[in-house]
Amino acid sequence: MKILPVIVLLVAVAVAGCGSKDEAASPTATGPATTLESGSGPDISGTGLDGEALSVADFRGKPVFVNVWSSW
């Protein structure tokens, strides 16, 4: 008989999850989406794996992916 309260609770959670959509969560924008364009990024420099100095300015005009790892 201890399983009955668990079943009732699961059914209640399932029914609550099937409720109507919250209107406040709906987007309210009516215009078309716009693209934000920014200028150049910050001047980042560092040392490459081979020991040579690298700078983002060396890659100006090309897409650059900066992968930042943490070692903790």
Tens digit of pLDDT for each residue in 23-35?
Answer: 666 666 677 777 7
CA distance 7 to 15: 12
CA distance 63 to 72: 29
The pLDDT value recorded for residue 26 is 62
Domains of the chain, by residue range, sit at: 2-59
The pLDDT value recorded for residue 25 is 61
CA distance 27 to 36: 19
Tens digit of pLDDT for each residue in 37-53?
Answer: 767 677 888 898 899 99
What integer is the mean pLDDT of 47-60?
88
The per-residue pLDDT of the chain, averaged, comes to: 79
Q: What's 28's DSSP letter?
A: -
**pTM summary value:** 0.33
CA distance 48 to 42: 18
